[in-house]
Structure 1
Amino acid sequence: MKRPLTPLDFVRRALKLYPDRPAILHGDLRLTYREWGERLWRLVHALRAAGVRPGDHVAVLSPNTHEGLLAYAAVPWLGAVLVPLNTRLTPAEYRFQLEFADVRLLLCDVSLLDRVQDVAAATGLGVWGMGAGEGGAAFETRLLEASADPVPFPLDLDEDSPITINFTSGTTSNPKGVMLTHRNAYMDGIGVMLYLQLSPDSVYLHTLPNFHVNGWGGVWAVQGMGSANVMLPAVRADEIYAAIERHGVTHLCAAPTVLSMITDPAVARPVPPVRVATAGSPPHARIIADMDALGFEVLQVYGLSETSPLVTVAELTREQRALPIAERAVLMARQGYEMVNAGEVDVVTPDMRPVPHDGETLGEIVVQSNLVMLGYYKNPAATAEAFAGGWFHTGDMACVHPDGRIEIRDRNKDVIISGGENISSVEVEGVLYRHAAVREAVVVAMPDDRWGEVPCAFVVLHAGHAVTPEELTVFVRGHLAGFKVPKRFEYLDDLPKTASGKFQKFVLRNALWEGRARGVN
């Protein structure tokens, strides 16, 4: 009999094959897969008793906790659709997303209840508080009063039905609801297990916010191999190092901004081998080299919410892995090749012709894959635009090197067009990251009366370091053509980011262009 492709099969497998292995490591809490499974069945029964039915939309608002992780299995086990919410939004944003996504029940960590209580009162939305502290006891009572009997695997599940609605992460000002299917999530999970090289002995640290495209699939893939889940509610470098030392962490995923935190000289220290997948924005070669020196094995992956999310990987041959780190990091900083589970990923011109493999010609990354979303929720126009020509259009501009490696140069809207010349903000940022004083850098377009727009750099310096704009100008000019050199440098204590660590370039760019129209979409 044909079985539906769903990441719930990963959950089923873990409960069947690894009942006595550790499932959850959260502070002093230790749960085996047998114990975690009992909580899972209790939550499934409790949700069903509360009236949750197939097709209903249930939201979860939670940092990376073991209670939050339960929702990713329990809600879809009923055939309902999970709506993960960003933990850093305002009440108004929560109201928009909850109403737009037609949510009927919200599972909310007690630490975040104050942000949604007024919304719930105004809309009549049901809210279940989860976690330790005031408001969480009722959740545990619900579980205790529910049956612990296993719920059969849902063989009647439609693998092409939504498992989640994930709102895009906010690097632009117009998030959309991305409908990912059970089949999408299953195929993504296979890729995560394969390329992260997970095993029953792996210990996975949930550094990446699980609401961000379902932790890149880590909310299910880790269970697929019977690996241990180490929950990390707050992402701080000291907490990451503490978890590695306490629990023997072997794997984690994080955006490049988190890698920058980990490699900050003020906190950095050597670790046993830890395999790290990074994505969200192109990581710079210097950060990869710094991670390598500490014992972290960095694997760059690439994708979008709309592709479940991972579709390319910067894999290396044995000969390339033997290269000096300075040369190896350059290859690792490129987005690499399409994953074996990703279908076809290509870089094309506006008339949909593949670009030459010359490492220079820019085109848009497009994807045809079982990983590509069902569509945008209640937005058929945006869905049709994204699938123009039978391919999913990512909006990411890239070139292809002679060896076939894809390298992102920019988002369409982030390309700086100065006097008719295209400038890659990523290329300029890569040079800034080479300066020993620079911890983080973002380059955006600012208006210029002569050239239309020119580069402006926002930088965060390492603690105890100083460098003048004049010195940075000379440094960048030593690596790039003069028209690519930022015409202004702004020093900040921190750069605006999404909760998953992506830089919000639009925030910085919009401030520079306030009251003026920019001719780049």
Structure 2
Amino acid sequence: MEELKPSAANSSPLTPLGFLDRAATVYGDTPSVIYDAVTFTWSQTRRRCLQLASALSSLKIYRGDVVSVVAPNIPATYELHFAVPFAGAIINIINTRLRARTLSAVLRHAESKLVFVDVASRDVVIEALSLFPENNPRRPILILIEDDAVEHLTPSSTVHFEDTYEGLISKGDPNFKWLYPNSEWDPLRLNYTSGTTSSSPQGVVHSHRGTFVITVDSLMDWEVPKQAVFLWTLAMFHVNGWCFPWGIAAVGGTNICVRKFDAPIVFSLITSHRVTHMCASPVLLNMLTNTPDNKPLENPVHILTAGAPPPPAVIQRTESLGFIVSHGYGLTETGGVVVSCAWKRKWNRFPAAERARLKARQGVRTCLMTEVDVVTSAGESVKHDGVTLGEVVIRGSCVMLGYLKDPERTKNRLKNGYFYTGDVGVIHEDGYLEIKDRLSDVITTGGKNLSSVEVESVLYMHPAVKEAAVVARPDEYYGQTPCAFVSLKEGLVVTEEEIIEHCRKNMATYMVPKTVAFREELPKSSTGKIKKTVLRQIAQEMGSIPYQNVNNNYSMLS
């Protein structure tokens, strides 16, 4: 068989872009995108994307150019996931919550040639460009995305812009032949991690191949059916919405776009559009379950959560409303969800609290991933005992190509044949992974390492707690001890002593927070994650707990 080799017939580059062509053929007259009073069919969406790609080519956007998008979950953002790479360019969806200085750093680092700007982000983008060095010749073309629901345009509104979004589409050729990648390893998308700062942008580059693999893998793993109705509660700037812009095209589903996450609006859209699927971070799950007057759903809705370890109490509250929660794990660098808590039918017989505890684990590799492991500092696999900690490492086709313009960081994270995630986890006896913390968040108290995530899970069990985060506070005797920051549900009151007593009843003594600080709201990043870096600084400023305050009953052996 040695004479049998790859040929043009059997080695076409893998890309998710062809999903739109198929959707237009199979589901052409069914709704593709719904936003307020606007509805497009799959035939219309394909035509609009081809026209837009044609117009981009006319603006001299070529293969390998970066085209950025600063817009929320609106039809334009969805369409650009196809239109930009149709023109051979690299799609870069930017967090709409970034401030001008950080946004300016991202645009300069990415060398964006063109930026699509939602009308609500117009001022911050213009300010970001004003921060470019005067001698910088790489100023991008600006295209304004109109939305009369936000602002009616005037001549002064568009003074900085080459054209409007709809104006650009009208100039394009609907018979444009979109550009197939020369290689499946060609870059398709550029994402910036939530840790991006103006001094050190972290641009993650993913290929057509990797994006195709993670898209198909996610559809298989979550068992997304044909013509699902998908509500866009997950920001598309968050790792391209975990690749579901391409995935929903593959199954001919309907995308329900929503400009911002608002719990009452979400429940209303679920009912009016008979939503079947949606994604949300644990923070958003918490917002849904804490919404006043929320009621059980009329029909079950599948909801995929990832982005941070969800407390079992939050999962249990979410499912009590009629959501069917699936839990996954991934990073910007993996392009989407690569580990999922594959559910076993026998677990359905367990009590709700036990089901939620099992579902809070991250789980096992998805079908198209090669390997997921937890290793020691020496690179050896940890015991499958649910106790031994190590760093989570991943190997598979969807892992990033690397960090843009940062070979050193790429080398440090892609080594020994794996991507080193920086997350600390354990493997249970049944082979399921559980994330315990970020390496930077592990608390060492009296020589023992403890997981802040475990402490937070217990805090969320308290009926008065809305949000909780645990960081290390200096301690003269133990080195570090847990410091809990807590926000309470509206109208409820609880004392520090009551929180500590609740923890004593539900965890080992050495894990119990010695400090509880109440806040009206916990600080969050632009992607909605609680900012532990800020809380760690606050805990440091509290000063070290003096030796004489050590309670002799607080035994580190417990």
TM-score range, shorter chain: over 0.9
Partner of 1:207: 233
CA distance in 2, matches of 1:360, 1:276: 29
* Correspondence for 2:95 among 80, 86, 91: 86
Inter-CA distance 256–425: structure 2 relative to 1 (3 Å threshold): same
Residue 97 (str. 1) matches residue 112 (str. 2): no
Partner of 1:421: 448
- Which consecutive residues of structure 1, in runs of 5 or more, have no partner in the other structure? none
CA distance in 2, matches of 1:443, 1:39: 48
Q: Which shows bigger deviation, 186-195 or 136-145?
A: 136-145
1:122 is displaced (CA, Å) by 5.5
Residue 131 (str. 1) matches residue 146 (str. 2): yes
Partner of 1:275: 302
Cα pair 1:426 1:443 within 8 Å, conserved = yes
Inter-CA distance 458–172: structure 2 relative to 1 (3 Å threshold): farther
Partner of 2:5: none
Secondary structure, counterpart of 1:292 in structure 2: helix
Residue 345 (str. 1) matches residue 372 (str. 2): yes
Inter-CA distance 83–477: structure 2 relative to 1 (3 Å threshold): same
Inter-CA distance 142–415: structure 2 relative to 1 (3 Å threshold): same
Residue 233 (str. 1) matches residue 248 (str. 2): no
Inter-CA distance 416–439: structure 2 relative to 1 (3 Å threshold): same
Secondary structure, counterpart of 1:367 in structure 2: strand
Residue 177 (str. 1) matches residue 192 (str. 2): no
Partner of 2:3: none
Cα pair 1:172 1:504 within 8 Å, conserved = no
Q: Please report the TM-score for the alignment, with normalisation by the length of structure 2.
A: 0.89
Q: How many matched pairs?
A: 516
Partner of 1:466: 493
1:175 is displaced (CA, Å) by 4.7
* Correspondence for 2:275 among 233, 242, 249: 249
* Correspondence for 2:402 among 372, 375, 384: 375
Cα pair 2:100 2:125 within 8 Å, conserved = yes
Q: Which shows bigger deviation, 322-331 or 276-285?
A: 322-331
Partner of 2:242: 216
1:118 is displaced (CA, Å) by 2.9
Secondary structure, counterpart of 2:231 in structure 1: strand
1:250 is displaced (CA, Å) by 0.5
Partner of 1:3: 12
Cα pair 2:87 2:178 within 8 Å, conserved = no
Cα pair 1:79 1:157 within 8 Å, conserved = no
Cα pair 1:105 1:126 within 8 Å, conserved = yes
1:493 is displaced (CA, Å) by 2.1
CA distance in 2, matches of 1:382, 1:260: 34
Spell out the pairing of 1:284-363 with structure 2 (5 A cutoff).
284-363=311-390
Q: Which shows bigger deviation, 117-126 or 277-286?
A: 117-126
Aligned residues with identical type, % of pairs: 38
* Correspondence for 2:29 among 16, 20, 23: 20
* Correspondence for 1:31 among 40, 44, 55: 40
Q: Which shows bigger deviation, 1-10 or 383-392?
A: 1-10
1:265 is displaced (CA, Å) by 5.2
Q: What letter is aligned with 2:25?
A: K
Which protein is bigger by CA-based radius of gyration? 2
Residue 120 (str. 1) matches residue 145 (str. 2): no
Q: What letter is aligned with 2:247?
A: A
Cα pair 2:215 2:244 within 8 Å, conserved = yes
1:156 is displaced (CA, Å) by 4.4
1:110 is displaced (CA, Å) by 0.8
Residue deviations 1:128-169 (CA, integer Å, cap 9, x gap): 1103142588321221122222x3353443211111110111
* Correspondence for 1:400 among 410, 427, 447: 427
Cα pair 2:102 2:197 within 8 Å, conserved = no
Q: What letter is aligned with 2:390?
A: G
Residue deviations 1:304-335 (CA, integer Å, cap 9, x gap): 11011211000111111232221111110000
CA distance in 2, matches of 1:130, 1:171: 25
1:16 is displaced (CA, Å) by 2.1
1:499 is displaced (CA, Å) by 3.5
- Which consecutive residues of structure 2, in runs of 5 or more, have no partner in the other structure? 1-8, 133-138, 545-558
CA distance in 1, matches of 2:454, 2:106: 35
1:515 is displaced (CA, Å) by 11
* Correspondence for 1:513 among 528, 540, 550: 540
CA distance in 2, matches of 1:75, 1:138: 16
Cα pair 1:198 1:227 within 8 Å, conserved = no
Q: What letter is aligned with 1:404?
A: G
Aligned Cα root-mean-square deviation (Å)? 1.8
Q: Which shows bigger deviation, 132-141 or 284-293?
A: 132-141
* Correspondence for 2:468 among 441, 451, 454: 441
Partner of 2:224: 198
Q: Which structure would you say has the larger RCO, counting Cα contacts within 8 Å and 6 or more residues apart? A: 1
Cα pair 2:503 2:512 within 8 Å, conserved = yes
